[in-house]
């Protein structure tokens, strides 16, 4: 069964997709309303060793319909979602949201 994963950051990069999933993901542009991004500093050495940088964007809910994040919604398998879970820093968690297109998708947010 296909899952949807919304990316607004490094998972949109083809080199990251190839390293993580072994393929280029199929996706389309979409928008997440009621959220905005902020930059946080990653201190997890395992994540930093991947070379994606210590300053990463993360989605935060604002519940303001004027706020939005543009990104790409990808089709992935459940197994690939588990790979993505392992890729993200430890203080990120995956939650399900609804995109402007009406698709249900997973995104990563920060754990406070």
Contact 72, 28 (CB under 8 A): yes
Amino acid 26: pLDDT: 95
Half-sphere exposure of 100 (CA within 13 A, CB side): 16
Amino acid 46: pLDDT: 57
Render pLDDT for 88-112 as a digit per residue (tens, 0 to 9). 777 778 999 999 999 999 998 876 5
Render pLDDT for 31-90 as a digit per residue (tens, 0 to 9). 999 998 877 665 656 554 555 656 667 788 898 999 999 999 999 999 999 999 988 777
Domain residue ranges of the chain, discontinuous segments joined by +: 3-110
Question: Which CATH number applies to 3-110: 3.40.50.720, 3.40.640.10, 3.40.50.150, 3.10.490.10?
Answer: 3.10.490.10
Looking at residues 15-36, what average pLDDT do you find? 94
Q: At what angle do helices 78-87 and 14-21 cross, to 10 degrees?
A: 110
């Amino acid at each position: 069964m296909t899952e949807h994963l919304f990316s607004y950051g490094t998972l949109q990069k083809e080199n990251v997709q190839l390293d993580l999933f072994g393929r280029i993901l199929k996706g389309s542009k979409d928008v997440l309303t009621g959220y905005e991004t902020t930059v946080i500093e990653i201190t997890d050495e395992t994540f930093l060793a991947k070379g994606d940088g210590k300053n990463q964007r993360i989605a935060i809910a604002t519940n303001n319909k004027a706020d939005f994040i543009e990104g790409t919604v990808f089709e992935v398998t459940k197994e690939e979602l588990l790979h993505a879970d392992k890729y993200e820093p430890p203080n990120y968690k995956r939650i399900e949201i609804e995109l402007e297109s009406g698709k249900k998708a997973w995104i990563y947010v920060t754990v406070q």
